[in-house]
Amino acid sequence: MTIIDITRSLAGDALVYPGDTPPRFSQRDAGLYLISELRMSSHSGTHIDAPIHYLKTGATVDELPLSHLVGPCRVLDVSGAGSLIDAADLEGRIDGCKRILLRTGFSQCSTFREDYPSLTPGAAHYLISQGSLCVGIDSFSIERFDCDGSVHRKLLGSGCLIIELLDLSRVPEGDYTLVALPLKLSGIDGAPARVVLLDEDGVE
């Protein structure tokens, strides 16, 4: 079995959504050991959105059902869809899989741009109609930059958790086992996560 790390590294030069706190780390020598202080947004790097993030009510990140974030998943290559991924780009490709990761090609990007790939409301509705428990994307957000929050609210309000800013650059389309574990931050709207795929065929 191969373990594929699909988490973006957190560093001072990490990609940051406009308005979020850039990660800042400082380390000091305490004599017998080193210890670091961390400052960053709850949505820094690869992270998971909790329902309270956009609904302003409901589960916080420490209350998320981990069963939604661990289990069989499918990586779909939607890099041909452009900046807006619609239901037509997903139809007939899910086959009952409840955890979907979208490979848009943004994994190779190292700077912010407003036209990052995202879902249309129609695509969100389609995922919910398929019983999705979790959807992940390799761009900044599941929803376009000039959004009204409807995609987030549709997904989170229907019990579908969201993972954003994955690194799917080394992952071919196919079926894997997803393990996505957010930091257990009490009462918070989201958290950075270490996300990996398990490939039972052992091929990256």
Domains and CATH numbers, the chain: 2-9+42-199 (3.50.30.50)
SS3 44: coil
State whether the Cα torsion 110-113-115-121 is positive or negative.
Answer: positive
Encode pLDDT of 131-147 as tens digits: 999 999 999 999 999 99
Phi, psi of 28, deg, nearest 5: -130, 155
| d(C-alpha 79, C-alpha 104), whole Å | 4
Q: Are 38 and 192 in contact (CB under 8 A)?
A: no
* Coarse DSSP helix, strand, coil percentages of the chain, rounded to the nearest 5 percent: 20, 30, 50
Catalytic-residue membership of 53: yes
pTM, full prediction: 0.94
Angle between helices 150-157 and 121-129 (to 10 degrees): 10
Nearest residue to 130 via CA among 76, 49, 197: 76
Encode pLDDT of 144-202 as tens digits: 999 999 999 999 999 999 999 999 999 999 999 999 999 999 999 999 999 999 998 76
Catalytic residue among 43, 47, 53, 152: 53
Helices (H), 65-196: 121-129, 150-157
